[in-house]
Structure 1
Amino acid sequence: MRKLESIRKCGASVREIDLGPLASKDWARLVADALRCKAKAAAPLAALIYEKTAGNPFFAIQFIYALVEEDLLAFSRDKSAWRWDLDRIAAKGHTDNVVDLMVARLSRLPTETQRALQGLACVGNSADAATLRTVLEHEVIADLWEALRVELIVHSNGSYKFVHDRVHEAAYSLIPEASRAEAHLGIGRRLAARMPVERREEAIFEIVNQLNRGAALITSINEREQLAEFNLIAGKRAQTSTAYASALNYLEIGAALLIDDCWQRRHDLVFSIELARAQCEFVSGAVDQAEKRLSALSGRATTTIEQPTVACLRVDLYMSIDRSDYAVSVGLEALRKVVGIEWSPRPTEEEAFSEYQGIWVLLGDRTIEQLTDSPLMTDPISLATLDLLVRVAVPAFFVSSHLFAVAVCRAVSLSLQHGNSDASCIAYELFAMLAGPHFGNYDAGYRIGRLGCELVERPELQRFQARTYETFGFVIPWTQHVRAGRDLLTRSFEIASRTGDITYSGYACGQITTNFLLAGDPLVEAQKEAEILYGIGAEASQNLYVALNYFSGVRSRANERFLETYHDSFGELAPAVNQACQSCYDGVNIVASLAKNLGRSDAAALARSFRRPVSGRPIGTIVIHLSRSTDHIALTGLQITPR
């Protein structure tokens, strides 16, 4: 269903065909054909079948099977024809419920077959022969033969599968309710014990889903802690697949299995579970819970790995709710605790320039392109520091341009000294953002940005792939044609949406739509792209952080406002833009277009228009990015962060 919805949002045509029950006349023809008799002779039986099953094909077929098994519908060899007795069939009082009918059918099977079907039902709708041997602790082919013969299950490619969900449901109902937890626990234990360690993670969902259903019966502390570990593995695998609700379920079960003193005895296990819970809560929209959990975890973090890990996630969280000040504060505090870096939240211009100059000293005789051959960074403290620096740099961009410069330059310097890591890729891109606008070195910015993009293609350096692509796609128009960055922005949006990187899916969404605008593409195409991305982004980020652009000439609502920039207006425009973008109100859409000659009076009027509430209910903060290149000022991003 989610795939179909995504296809619809992309504008593709999707046609649905509803397959309802067969009509009475259709059943009359079907029964007559099956029994090889005239329609008039089969009509009473067909009518009875239709009455019992309401025309449901599966139910009707199973009903006919039941009639045959009970000898109420039989083939007469003497007359070479099928015979039935409507009075006997009516007197039998067959159920109107398909599951009850299937239970009755299953109950007539041999005991060994029933037991095998119960085991299969515990595992799921299907299972391979090896799994069933483990579950039932003996060979199952003979036991399942009768179920295969009467077509309750099918055998294909080494696996057995129920022919219908109702058969599965009926087979499971044969297990007394009071015995089900014990049955699942036994199956889970056997699967865990006999599964080779190297295959355990691959089969983790099969194991955990069984053990969790019998977890209430586990009394051993060691076994409970082992099951908590299994749930952590399952949760992380589900998280990797962006199945965050499922991941949270596993992680919460794992946490509930641990007792109070586990923080002392099993610190690593509890910390990992709680951190993963916070990550899933964050990306699935439960920001308050994630913030509380991370605040508590920051007090529990004891190592130089745990402390920056928690701090990095807190920075990302505060960025997603437009609290750049909090994000900077958390990041700077972690830098002070972990590596002893003492920075003011507002460094001086001289400090920023000193950090920038230090990069070229460290680069020495090497060219930027030669940095691709640098070794991988291995020092744990350097890796943790670099992670913190690239996290702090992003909110610093909105708080202090000098802090942004200091953090970015220190991150690049660390990579020059200790080698490349996955965080080096985004560090190089952030430097590309810095080198041109802040220090006038657009060529070096482009070259080092290209370096980051080349590095992030390596399998071992792809953690910040979405961020790297988005930032370089943002930077490219300063030295290349604006369309040259579009593919990178699109790739960034796809990766960020898939991996739950809320902030950068928002950035990429805004950048793509702005790219259409700056490139001069038809506004109809720009609108279509904006609406597609908005729909996908809103779904992917759970409305935490959604970038939104609407364009002039496309929407003619009274609440649309224009922001227009020109090359010589940057200095005069900046105060008005900052004032205009402090808050937005329900019903206000920002319309951005590249045009000419926005004067101070127009900018002031724009600012006043944003301050007038439409409904009086503030919904968030608007941030507009303006970028200076050698010959023009361009609007390069628009973000709306809902509150």
Structure 2
Amino acid sequence: MDEETLTTMVSETLCLLPRLTRSLSSIIYHKTKGNPLFVSQLMISLGKEGLLRPSLSRRRWEWDKEKIQFQKLPDDVAMFFTNSIEALSEDVKASLCVLSCFGSSAETAFIKTLERLLQKTLLNNLDAAVEEGLLDKKDGRYHFSHDRIQEAAYNMLNFLDQGRFHFSYGMALAPLVDAAGEGDDSILLTAANQLNLAGPEAVHDKSQNVTIANLNLQAGKKAMEMSDFVLAYSYFDNGISFLRKKHWEEHYNLSLKLFDLAAKCALTNGDIVSLKLLSEQVIAYGRSYEDKLNVLYLVTCSLAFSSKLPESIEKSIEILANLGIDLQEWRSTEVCVQETTTLLSTYTDDEILNTRQMTDPTMIIALKFLGKLELGMTQTKPRSVPLVTQKMIELSLAKGMSPMSPIGFVYFGSFISKRGDLSSGYRYVKVALSLLDKVGKESAGEVICIATQVKIFVEPIQAALEYHDDGYAASMVARDVSNALLNILFKNSCVHVAGVKLQTMREEYEKFFRLAKENNHSIFLVQIKQVQRDVLRLIGSDEELTIHENPKDVSVEEAKIVATNNSVNVSRYYQKAYISFIFRSYDDTKENIEKYLACISKTWANLLIHHAVHAFYSGLISFWVARKSRDRQQWHERGERSKLALKKWAESSRWTFEHKWYLLEAEESYCKNDFEVAELFYEKAISSAKEHKFVHEEALACELAGYFYAELRDTDKAMEHFLRAHEKYHEWGAFGKCDCLFKFVERFLLLCLLALATRSKTKQCTAKGVK
């Protein structure tokens, strides 16, 4: 059919005037050349994809012209056009072959550049292909109408010639790389891609190997700037493949840069095997210890992410000793804090922020090792953290600020906040955040993460959640996956504390689990399993979650993490105690809280939201155990310590901690049989939790008040609080907990009815004189 006939057919099919359908029929004709079968197939395809659809409001058919223009042809239509390539002139076919070497599309401006470099006519020939329906031309770009057409054009080249053409195109573009304007990276990436498609076997002149390796180095750096570390690794890897034998001797600096950056990308991408191979090369051929420091740092990072955190720490301490930084000396926590405080007292905030930049490359990498130790030692050797922090601050003030310096200040702020000086801690946290603007954002993910944990003790927790989103984004820009995961982990902890809906929590934990698994971060995987299980249990989900309970089923790697990482054990025992407490399993709660308390003295160098949450629930559990245990005094003292901690935090942030403090006051008064005071604080805890929007802890306060009133045999008040607790747990999404509470209330009511019936019968018998 000619175009006019096709327009008539489309008009009649859609029951619209030809002037209305002409824009659609013109595109269809261009794509099918009027073949009736293809017209039918294409219109059916447009209908299925919603690009041609009936409009009820307009009472007519409508279509999306822009999207249809770029709609790919159905496969059999593409095959028809592929076969029609043979009928084209040799010049047009040759131009299609050139275009096919650059992918599915290319800009008109780039084609003009190729014309000039290759001294070939391309634009006119490609326009002829557009007329034949093989290409689309839109917004200054030529597009193949279908992948099969591009494939057919590319396959017209002899297999042995394909590499030769890619190589010639890449080498023709290479001289333009430096001439391209700033911000225009397309020539660089295109040239590198063409040469990489050709491969090292296409090179015949040794000098070209160096040129191509350098191009890949530049392309890889650009890809890193775009945060595409998978693409960056491919460029560095290709650059290495173009290096010839003896490249370490003849082109040392180029080789070192390619291997260093490839290793960094391998770590970022979770490719530990490639990291190992690359680092071995640098360690074997590096000319100085300083030249090996970058890969040594990456190796220690990979150890930290897996089950070898103690080995990572030991290796880092050894490397720092070689650089003249001794961490083996013993200094008490008090001495480290006092010396650091004294040092900082001689500086104003402005003087710290305006300290000169660090220029010594060895010291810059030393600060990286120290920064990595902060987080690692927090999990395994918390008492050593203040010394690491002190070294970071001393070096930063003496040698200049590096991109890692904010880590030292934020950890110091977190540490002294944990020791009770929240105002000073908050000050240094803000200094650390301000330093990021001075020294760069390389450490922003970790700094924001730790800073947010301190901010939560001053600002409302619901408002602080977005800070962890900023920390995650900053980490991902730097492709610092470990700190991206840490921000998600801490945000999820905050989400739990803030009482966000459990279904949302479940989805967030699943995202976290997938990201940790993709990047082989074993420690995070171990830490998250128990929490995932508890969320599912609260929801009441029947979904099976692979969490090992039997020690025989635990993997060797997981067992090693549990054996060497005390903070993991603290989290595991706390979670088990927490969920047992929530579901009122007394024996399990007591057993796990005792294990938790046995580990707790060896962890937490810094102030984290975990600290407050653990103090709150361990306090509630302690008072519960005190009421039921013979060792009443010891458990009461533990609960009182938790209460005093929450009271102090409530003075700093009434919003987040007031209701928790009130609830602990109520439970303590209950323990002392001071029932009037207990009743007052239960109601204050419920009111404060409601006011500050902690729905889950409003539910908990109502539930505990219910048990209190039940003990006093005030059935009406007990039922009132149990029903309100059930309502709030349901609002939170804790349907599993709702079922558990409902069963308890059923038993409670039955017992009340039995007691009432017994009393009634006793009265009747007494009235009749029956004993």
1:50-73: per-residue Cα shift (whole Å, max 9, x none)?
87999356999xxxxxxxxxxxxx
TM-score (norm 1): 0.70
Within 5 Å, give how 1:126-137 maps onto structure 2. Answer: 126-136=105-115, 137=118
Q: Pick from 119, 128, 138 the counterpart of residue 98 of structure 2.
A: 119
Q: Pick from 488, 509, 512 the counterpart of residue 534 of structure 1.
A: 512
- The secondary structure found in structure 1 opposite 2:502 is helix
Separation in 2, partners of 1:605, 1:123: 63
**Contact 2:355 2:401 (C-alpha < 8 Å) held by counterparts:** yes
Ranges in structure 2 where 5+ consecutive residues have no aligned partner? 14-31, 47-74, 549-562, 597-607, 616-641, 650-655, 658-771
User: 1:512 maps to what in 2?
Assistant: 491
**Contact 2:309 2:376 (C-alpha < 8 Å) held by counterparts:** yes
1:162-201: per-residue Cα shift (whole Å, max 9, x none)?
2332332232233233321111111111111234345585
User: 1:343 maps to what in 2?
Assistant: 327
- The secondary structure found in structure 2 opposite 1:155 is strand
1:378-433: per-residue Cα shift (whole Å, max 9, x none)?
33333222222112222122232332111111101222223333211222111122
- Quickly say closer, same or farther: Cα 1:105–1:542, change in 2 above 3 A: farther
User: 1:279 maps to what in 2?
Assistant: 264
Query: Are 1:176 and 2:155 an aligned pair?
Result: no
**Contact 1:426 1:468 (C-alpha < 8 Å) held by counterparts:** yes
More helix by share: 2
- Quickly say closer, same or farther: Cα 1:553–1:129, change in 2 above 3 A: closer
**Contact 2:111 2:123 (C-alpha < 8 Å) held by counterparts:** no
Separation in 2, partners of 1:253, 1:579: 41
Query: Are 1:414 and 2:395 an aligned pair?
Result: yes
Q: Pick from 375, 383, 405 the counterpart of residue 402 of structure 1.
A: 383
User: 2:734 maps to what in 1?
Assistant: none
User: 2:193 maps to what in 1?
Assistant: 209
- The residue identity in structure 1 corresponding to 2:473 is E
| 1:332 positional shift | 1.2
- The residue identity in structure 2 corresponding to 1:452 is A
Separation in 2, partners of 1:108, 1:580: 70
- The residue identity in structure 2 corresponding to 1:55 is Q
Separation in 1, partners of 2:198, 2:500: 60
User: 1:252 maps to what in 2?
Assistant: 237
- Quickly say closer, same or farther: Cα 1:599–1:326, change in 2 above 3 A: farther
Q: Pick from 424, 440, 449 the counterpart of residue 461 of structure 1.
A: 440
**Contact 1:102 1:170 (C-alpha < 8 Å) held by counterparts:** no
- Quickly say closer, same or farther: Cα 1:33–1:598, change in 2 above 3 A: closer
User: 1:449 maps to what in 2?
Assistant: 429
| 1:462 positional shift | 0.5
- Quickly say closer, same or farther: Cα 1:125–1:445, change in 2 above 3 A: same
**Contact 2:389 2:411 (C-alpha < 8 Å) held by counterparts:** yes
1:210-261: per-residue Cα shift (whole Å, max 9, x none)?
1122232202222112212222333343344454443333333222222331
- Quickly say closer, same or farther: Cα 1:499–1:57, change in 2 above 3 A: farther
- Quickly say closer, same or farther: Cα 1:313–1:594, change in 2 above 3 A: farther
RMSD (CA atoms): 4.4
More strand by share: 1
Separation in 2, partners of 1:211, 1:58: 42
Separation in 2, partners of 1:324, 1:242: 27
| 1:470 positional shift | 0.7
Q: Pick from 381, 399, 416 the counterpart of residue 435 of structure 1.
A: 416
User: 1:359 maps to what in 2?
Assistant: 340
- Quickly say closer, same or farther: Cα 1:592–1:254, change in 2 above 3 A: farther
Within 5 Å, give how 1:37-186 maps onto structure 2. Answer: 55=41, 101-136=80-115, 137-138=118-119, 140-186=122-168
- The secondary structure found in structure 1 opposite 2:326 is coil
Query: Are 1:269 and 2:254 an aligned pair?
Result: yes
Q: Pick from 302, 305, 311 the counterpart of residue 317 of structure 1.
A: 302
Separation in 2, partners of 1:213, 1:427: 46
TM-score (norm 2): 0.60
**Contact 1:311 1:388 (C-alpha < 8 Å) held by counterparts:** no
Separation in 2, partners of 1:424, 1:455: 8
User: 2:370 maps to what in 1?
Assistant: 389
| 1:531 positional shift | 3.5
**Contact 2:305 2:521 (C-alpha < 8 Å) held by counterparts:** no
Separation in 2, partners of 1:526, 1:582: 25
- Quickly say closer, same or farther: Cα 1:176–1:131, change in 2 above 3 A: same
Ranges in structure 1 where 5+ consecutive residues have no aligned partner? 1-28, 38-45, 61-95, 562-574, 610-622, 637-643
User: 2:502 maps to what in 1?
Assistant: 524
- The secondary structure found in structure 2 opposite 1:456 is helix
- The residue identity in structure 2 corresponding to 1:133 is K
Q: Pick from 562, 569, 579 the counterpart of residue 581 of structure 1.
A: 569
- The secondary structure found in structure 1 opposite 2:101 is helix
Query: Are 1:33 and 2:16 an aligned pair?
Result: no
- The secondary structure found in structure 1 opposite 2:357 is coil
Aligned length: 530
Q: Percent identity?
A: 17
Separation in 2, partners of 1:238, 1:333: 34
User: 1:233 maps to what in 2?
Assistant: 218
User: 1:77 maps to what in 2?
Assistant: none
Separation in 2, partners of 1:304, 1:57: 68
- Quickly say closer, same or farther: Cα 1:288–1:212, change in 2 above 3 A: closer
Within 5 Å, give how 1:535-554 maps onto structure 2. Answer: 537-538=515-516, 541=519, 544=522, 545-546=524-525, 548=528, 549-550=531-532, 551=535, 553-554=538-539
**Contact 1:348 1:402 (C-alpha < 8 Å) held by counterparts:** no
**Contact 1:102 1:166 (C-alpha < 8 Å) held by counterparts:** no
- The secondary structure found in structure 2 opposite 1:374 is coil
**Contact 1:523 1:554 (C-alpha < 8 Å) held by counterparts:** no
- The secondary structure found in structure 2 opposite 1:196 is coil
